[in-house]
Amino acid sequence: MKQASLTLLYPKVIPPEDPDNPRSARQIEVIKEALEKKLLSITARMWAYRGVEVPLNVFDFTVFRHRDGPEDFFQDFSGVLLGDCWHGFEAITVASQARIIRAACNAHARRKISDSKAYPEDRKLWMNWYRELYRVEAEARELTSAERLELRQAKSVPIWNRIDQWMEEAEQRTYQVILRSSDFGKSLQYVRNHKLELMRYLSDGRIPIDNNETEQLMKQVAIGRKNWLFAGSIVGGERAAGFMTLVSSAVRSNLHVWQYVMDVLDQLLAGSTDYESLLPWNWAEAHPDQIRQYRINENATRARGYEQKS
């Protein structure tokens, strides 16, 4: 899960509240505030969600950054939510009454440690640990979830045990001084505060170690902003999210994007309600000639490059 900003040209007349739209009240609140401040536009949000077991990339448009949007999106969801450590995620998991379990992104934790300047020797030690953890993930890339879990238990858990031991020893010696005086200390506190969520992936082979693949979807939002610059209305933003979902999911399934989107729209306009057959993986099975093998080869080459870097 990830979000990016998007300029919205909002209506200059406050719309009536829609009782069937759970986001309507918040939209009106944001529009009222913008009118009072005489703003020319609103900074809206485009959220990206990437399924792990279900190969879909889903985009969702909201006029606000508040957790109401993701909370509404996940109202019927049960499972693990992986993202950065934005405070809204914790509120969403609490509100779900244990339907949703939160996992945290290790790339964020690693980046905070890498960007710190103080205590270079200790920082180097941490970066080596993270390098070892990511080597395990490279090794596990082509494994099943069960095999990946077994590998993590055998190789990653001992690394985290060493991290735990270092943290305990550091706290007994100089940890409090480090925390008060350095950016490295703040990065350690970040790990300590979210350690349970950062280690969540060790107990489930389906959970990625980080949120990087979802964050990559923000590039698609950025390209969109360069092309259409802004959303001309709330409906326009929602429509853009729908088209981006179609296109991005087609790319993920290595489909001929134009043929897929055109066929889906043609069938919907003709009145088809067989939505199951329009899902990318089902459509690909019915149209094997529209699968782009060169994209599969490119992804394989990219994965090998990732393993070599790790």
From residue 290, give the alpha-carbon distance in Å to each of 92, 244, 264, 274: 39, 19, 13, 20
Locus of tokens 């505060």: 193
What is the chain's pLDDT, residue by residue, as a tens digit (310 residues)?
Answer: 788 899 999 988 999 999 999 899 999 999 999 999 999 999 999 999 999 999 999 999 999 888 778 888 998 999 999 998 888 888 888 888 889 999 999 999 999 999 998 889 999 999 999 999 999 999 999 899 999 999 999 999 999 999 999 988 877 766 566 656 688 888 988 999 999 999 999 999 999 999 999 999 999 999 988 888 899 999 999 999 999 999 999 999 999 999 999 999 999 999 999 999 999 999 999 999 999 988 888 877 776 665 555 5
Residues whose CB falls within 8 Å of the CB of residue 123, separated by 6 or more in sequence, listed in order: 113, 114, 116, 184
CA distance 198 to 213: 16
In the chain, domain spans: 2-104+214-225, 107-192, 228-309
If you ran DSSP here, which 8-state letter would residue 52 be given?
Answer: S
Cα within 13 Å of Cα(219), Cβ side: 6
